[in-house]
């Protein structure tokens, strides 16, 4: 029982290091890159009784959309780059 806490701490650090050192996807040849400009913005209330607050919907000129819970992330006129990975 006296070795449980040090073993737990070591395991926590090892698992944290493994999860953080994961490589993120890179842009490769054949990937489709689209730059879209936000042109529409509207606010809705959360449909759930558990969640509270507004949802902020941003729609781009490419008909893509982003939904956030914060209103300071995007503005109308911001450019979002979408990368569609090849299969």
Task: Say how many domains are in the chain.
Answer: 1
Q: Identify whether 52 is part of a domain.
A: yes
pLDDT tens per residue, range 34-63: 999 999 999 998 878 888 889 999 999 999
- pLDDT-based confidence at residue 1 (cuts at 50, 70, 90): low
Q: Identify whether 1 is part of a domain.
A: no
Model pTM score: 0.63
Q: Identify whether 51 is part of a domain.
A: yes
Q: Identify whether 19 is part of a domain.
A: no
Residue span of the structural domain in which 44 resides:
25-84
Q: Identify whether 72 is part of a domain.
A: yes
Long-range contacts of 29-33 (CB under 8 A, 24+ apart): 30/86, 31/83, 31/84, 31/85, 31/86, 32/83, 32/84, 32/86, 33/81, 33/82, 33/83, 33/84
Mean pLDDT taken over the chain: 85
* Interior/surface letters 60-69, b for 16+ CB within 10 angstroms, e for the rest: beeeeeeeee
| List of E strands, the chain | 32-45, 54-60, 65-68, 79-84
Q: How much is the average pLDDT of 57-84?
A: 91
């Amino acid at each position: 029982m006296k070795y449980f806490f040090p073993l737990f701490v070591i395991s926590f650090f090892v698992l944290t290091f493994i999860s953080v050192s994961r490589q993120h996807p890179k842009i490769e040849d054949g990937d489709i890159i689209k730059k879209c400009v936000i042109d529409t913005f509207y606010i809705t209330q959360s449909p759930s009784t558990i969640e509270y607050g507004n949802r902020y919907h941003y729609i781009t000129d490419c008909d893509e959309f982003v939904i956030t819970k914060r209103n300071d992330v995007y503005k109308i006129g911001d450019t979002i780059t979408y990368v569609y990975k090849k299969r």
